Amino acid sequence: MREELNLTRRLLIKGIVATCLLSITRVGFAAPTQILAARVWPSSTYTRITLESNVKLTYKHFTMNNPDRIVVDVDNVSLNPVLKKLQSQLFKDDPYIKTLRVAQYDPQTIRLVIGLKQGVKPHLFTSQPIAEFKNRLVIDLYPSNPKAVDDDPLLALLEEYNKGSLTEKPTNVATSTTKKSNKVVVMLDPGHGGEDPGAIGYKKTREKDVVLQIARRVRNLLKSESQIKVYMTRNEDVFLPLKVRVAKARAQRADLFISIHADAFASRSVNGSSVFSLSTRGASSSAASYLAQTQNEADEIGGVSRSGDKYLDNTILDLVQKTTLSNGVLLGTSILNRMKKVNKMHKPSIEKAGFAVLKAPDIPSVLVETAFISNPAEEQKLKTADFQNKVSKAIVEGIKDYIKKRKN
């Protein structure tokens, strides 16, 4: 066994050396590096700048004062129309960026100068091509002195995540210090966001937008329930890694977690709502396994740095408690029974799959596929206030049914 392992390792190292040699010899003939797209994603949590290129970018960055700015030099790149347009994407009300300039610094280097409105901690990384994205250089700007907003642990959790130190028990993050009241804490999780649009409908409706609208409607309804306290993982168009969503639910001591989606399927004719709970074994159907797989890619699509991500799925799966799982099924079934009255169900009962976002070991968690955005009729419905309200009411009634029946 040990021999075999060593052999695999040696082959792997050989492979890496070969790949390196190959890339060195190819340099002379390679197509010039080109920036294919450049985007700015402002949010109150953090602002992200993304440069997309045909090959992996090499770069360095440093900060300068008076005025405060961050300088990013990108090697082997020429200024092109895509880069020239970057500054026009800057929003006047971006919380972090005051000015954005790109110039050819020397024949081999372009220089990006980001003028700042407040103290910022930059986090830069590159990510590999995935889905329709090519190589990306990501520049995330986090506030260095975040304002305390409603004891929201999100920024602290993102910081731990970026350092690769977000474990199953966030250490440096103050979990909600207020004594746990008798209220049931609900964490709503609108899927996707920012660089990750989620599924896109035939008429270009983006999943990330409709699920945020639905989650806000659910939140507004829950706010008037005296026995419930409601939070959201995101309440703006921002990308959050899956594990940060789970960690936020744990930090705020959520009693239940509801991830809201409207995904696509390979065939446009597929329609109906579905409710999923976590499976520690396999998926209950091929569609369930397909959806879990596409959902679990959200981190790669949204763009995360993989520097020592210790929050591994298997350790979490081992921790998943039986009561959490059975309460998850009870919560899902309660929601499904209410959803039945407002939309056709894709499957008559709750489905199971290994969704990463459902893996909090102590919080019953479900994922609601409100409808298929890939189905033209459902895409149309998903955009209407009427359907959004009906789905939201069904989710709320389902939550209330569950609270009456749950096992402690």
278 CB-side CA count, 13 A: 30
DSSP single-letter state for residue 65: T
Which residue number, 116 or 238, has a Cβ lying nearer to Zn ion?
Answer: 238
* Smallest separation, CB 316 to Zn ion (Å): 20
Which residue number, 347 or 406, has a Cβ lying nearer to Zn ion?
Answer: 347
Which residue number, 191 or 201, has a Cβ lying nearer to Zn ion?
Answer: 191
Comparing CA positions, the residue from 199, 196, 188 lying closest to residue 379 is: 199
Which residue number, 1 or 266, has a Cβ lying nearer to Zn ion?
Answer: 266
Question: CA-CA distance, 126 to 75, in Å (whole number)?
Answer: 14
* Residue 320 and residue 396 in contact, taking contact as beta carbons nearer than 8 Å: no
Per DSSP, helices labelled H in 57-206 are: 81-84, 154-163
Question: CA-CA distance, 121 to 146, in Å (whole number)?
Answer: 10
* Smallest separation, CB 360 to Zn ion (Å): 18
Which residue number, 136 or 261, has a Cβ lying nearer to Zn ion?
Answer: 261
* Smallest separation, CB 294 to Zn ion (Å): 7
CB contact burial 186-203 (16+ within 10 A = b; e otherwise): bbbbbbbbbbbbbbbbee
Which residue number, 94 or 263, has a Cβ lying nearer to Zn ion?
Answer: 263
Which residue number, 96 or 265, has a Cβ lying nearer to Zn ion?
Answer: 265
Strand runs labelled E in 54-158: 59-64, 69-75, 97-106, 109-116, 120-127, 135-143
The DSSP code sequence of 121-137 is: EEEEEEE--BTTB-EEE
* Smallest separation, CB 295 to Zn ion (Å): 6
Residue nearest to Zn ion (CB): 261
Question: CA-CA distance, 15 to 30, in Å (whole number)?
Answer: 21
* Smallest separation, CB 384 to Zn ion (Å): 19
* Smallest separation, CB 41 to Zn ion (Å): 18
* Smallest separation, CB 266 to Zn ion (Å): 15
Which residue number, 217 or 261, has a Cβ lying nearer to Zn ion?
Answer: 261
Question: CA-CA distance, 316 to 358, in Å (whole number)?
Answer: 10
Which residue number, 330 or 358, has a Cβ lying nearer to Zn ion?
Answer: 358
Question: CA-CA distance, 85 to 51, in Å (whole number)?
Answer: 12
* Smallest separation, CB 63 to Zn ion (Å): 36
* Smallest separation, CB 304 to Zn ion (Å): 16
Residues in contact with Zn ion by CB under 5 A are: 191, 198, 261, 263
Q: Is the preceding omega at residue 67 within 30 degrees of 0, hence cis?
A: yes
- Please calculate the CA angle 256-249-164 and round it to the nearest 5 degrees: 145
Other Cβ atoms closer than 10 A to 139: 20
For β-strands 97-106 and 69-75, DSSP reports them as unpaired
Which residue number, 120 or 214, has a Cβ lying nearer to Zn ion?
Answer: 214
Comparing CA positions, the residue from 66, 36, 30 lying closest to residue 51 is: 36
* Smallest separation, CB 207 to Zn ion (Å): 5
